[in-house]
Structure 1
């Protein structure tokens, strides 16, 4: 009976969302390293008048990633909304399975670019196909929606951070091996073939799991708003509910503002960081690129541990502020990095930088009914996509203009924007005592019935 029981346990695990998260992130980190290095190789001979060879390569790389990332953020807007509507109508697997097909096609496209030496611009078409499938804009809210449905309100922050932890550990493992896999040869086809084949196969397996085995679970609801419907005093119920609804709407707007500002700062800095490490004085190799990406993924682990330790003595608002301060200090130090060891010191300051976004999503899901989780979380993701349409060209052009006199200026700017993002979260923190008083009133009325 041992073997059958083990098979049943393994089958039960494969029906959950976690294996898909792990396999998808493993494949994505391999692809990200491959794309970064392929672009560097193709842009090595770029020349621009009045620019040095290295500055020309940096400009060609940043221009490519600017266009590529703009396509990825612009095209998924309508498809992700449609998938969110399908999700809230009961088809919870659609926002996961459909984007995974786009992931698979884009990975396959880069593999063909490397094998057949196709123009790098082919990846713009691949980015369009990826966007039409909903992309990350649909996939990640779909994952978070399943996590929200399968957890109670009290445990939601912890559950979402556990999802982020799996995502980070998978990225860490993938990043550590990606540089080494990139250097492996496949016949006479050159570097990167083995890496991209593995990435493509991992995404194919993800798609099969999401279509065939993935199961949607729903935890018992313990939302505080559910108790209000049981009150006998209708007038008192309406008054308290109206006050709570007003606070919820204001909190939703503040959470959106904080998420947008923080995403603007983080996304803009990360947009440039991958190119920044390629130039002198760092001039990273393929292996160093993998290790650098692994250092970024390590922050998922430290952020998860930070949530486990800090949530016992502080609330979600303080957790978000701690994460923002951590990122602001780390990215400011990055402005002055001139050696590899300094890069890792800067990353070490950002130990809790990934706490804010999942915690914001957790707080946001507590402001709306369960039937609106998919739409609300996807709306947030779409807002972040629109922000990407602004910070990608903005940070790219600022970096190109300041490349000669202060390449790290964009990181200082990112730190300043992060501090601005702390303002709406602080306002929510000031409003929390009033909200708690309202909830205590609801509980007292319920107890009196």
Structure 2
């Protein structure tokens, strides 16, 4: 029975989408490096200083991602809001189906780029095409909306973390094999072609599964519980819920900025001296990031028995802050994995923040609120992506890890709104316990 329920649920789709995305992630990283090397050799053929050539390559790659990343974040905003609106109007699969179509078309364009030897600039229309379909942010927001609809408030964090766990396991497997799969080539097939073909097959399966088999479940609200919640949450009112959402948004945006900005720099940091990774090592490095999803799920599952959601968020943020601080001083591969190990709980905060946000609104607004969180984090990338890139380029010659220390500081700042939220909820909890006692008392005879 459990296997039957899983097959008709959201897990198979999450697995296949993440497998495709993780294969693409490694492929993109190596393709960009190879094209930038070719361009650098063409323009600096007379250069003999290997250090200057390495710095030139790092600048070219980071400059490419400085444009590529904001395009990924900004283009989906208006399409994403429209798809979220459709989802809340009953078309729950729309925020999932549209991005899947975009994944297929963008990966097809990259495949043609490899087969026809198109220049790196073809990735600009590729990312625009992906963004117009909603991109990963809308897809994940739609996925979390379905999880929210099919779970109770008490179990929602657990179900969201389970989706993150499945996503992490798929990413771990995909990244572990991605480097080896990318290197497969024959006399007629270039490296990366097999990877793109496998990606297309995975997305095709996901699209067909979502359209014809994925079930949209909704937990019917309990009338008694609904009346009780209406009474106990009355003191906070609409203003209190808005304040809670604002604080959660602030903490989520700051933390996401620290995490994503660091990831953007890591993709070029791994390819420079002294690490200088090849395709297989890049795949293993990306896989280590998905191990963190698994450890975050297990940590949240164990620690949630003794601590609150807000404490879990703080633990996760402190874990990332410690690990990324050490990453600033990494010079060898084993040091890289030690720094990664310190971030074991780094992915606990975001699923819990989504869960807490969904509890501030009615079910008919889940899609819009969760997608708005995703899109707000995308908008913030317009500021931090070029800022981090310029700082990395300016500090490349004397301390390339400086940006990771900056991420550690921003993470500490992200804890502040979560602490304010926890303090406010603690006060309301004491009031709620008193009203609960009154509500549970038997009516007195007149």
When normalised by structure 2's length, the TM-score is 0.93
SS at match of 2:153: coil
How far did residue 223 of structure 1 move? Answer: 9.4
**2:253 counterpart residue number:** 260
> Which moved further from structure 2: 387-396 or 39-48?
39-48
**1:310 counterpart residue number:** 303
Deviations 1:375-418 (A, max 9, x none): 11111111101111111111111111110010000000000000
**1:3 counterpart residue number:** none
Q: Please, which of 278, 291, 308 is the counterpart of residue 298 of structure 1?
A: 291
1:24·1:203 contact (CA, 8 Å) conserved in 2? yes
1:228·1:442 contact (CA, 8 Å) conserved in 2? no
Deviations 1:57-92 (A, max 9, x none): 111111111211111111100001001111111110
Query: Are residues 187 and 46 of structure 1, via their aligned partners in 2, closer, same or farther at CA, if it must alter by over 3 Å?
Result: closer
1:247·1:435 contact (CA, 8 Å) conserved in 2? no
2:236·2:428 contact (CA, 8 Å) conserved in 1? no
1:262·1:421 contact (CA, 8 Å) conserved in 2? yes
1:14·1:209 contact (CA, 8 Å) conserved in 2? no
1:45·1:57 contact (CA, 8 Å) conserved in 2? no
**2:364 counterpart residue number:** 371
**2:54 counterpart residue number:** 54
Deviations 1:150-204 (A, max 9, x none): 1110011111000000010000000000000011114423211111111111111
**1:85 counterpart residue number:** 85
Deviations 1:237-286 (A, max 9, x none): 5x962534332221111100000110110111001001101000000011
**2:386 counterpart residue number:** 393
- The CA distance in 2 between the partners of 1:435 and 1:100, in whole Å, is 42
Task: Provide structure 1 residue ranges, at least 5 long, that are not aligned to the other structure.
Answer: 1-7, 231-236
1:405 aligns with 2:401: no
How far did residue 436 of structure 1 move? Answer: 1.0
- The CA distance in 1 between the partners of 2:296 and 2:372, in whole Å, is 25
> Which moved further from structure 2: 13-22 or 266-275?
13-22
**1:251 counterpart residue number:** 244
Q: Please, which of 321, 344, 353 is the counterpart of residue 328 of structure 1?
A: 321
- The CA distance in 1 between the partners of 2:38 and 2:366, in whole Å, is 48
Q: CA RMSD in A?
A: 2.0
Query: Are residues 317 and 229 of structure 1, via their aligned partners in 2, closer, same or farther at CA, if it must alter by over 3 Å?
Result: closer
Task: Provide structure 2 residue ranges, at least 5 long, that are not aligned to the other structure.
Answer: none
1:127 aligns with 2:127: yes
Query: Are residues 279 and 223 of structure 1, via their aligned partners in 2, closer, same or farther at CA, if it must alter by over 3 Å?
Result: farther
1:283 aligns with 2:276: yes
Question: 1:2-151, aligned counterparts within 5 Å?
Answer: 12-47=5-40, 52-151=52-151
- The CA distance in 2 between the partners of 1:225 and 1:389, in whole Å, is 42
**1:153 counterpart residue number:** 153
Query: Are residues 317 and 43 of structure 1, via their aligned partners in 2, closer, same or farther at CA, if it must alter by over 3 Å?
Result: same
Q: Please, which of 325, 345, 355 is the counterpart of residue 348 of structure 2?
A: 355
Query: Are residues 186 and 13 of structure 1, via their aligned partners in 2, closer, same or farther at CA, if it must alter by over 3 Å?
Result: farther
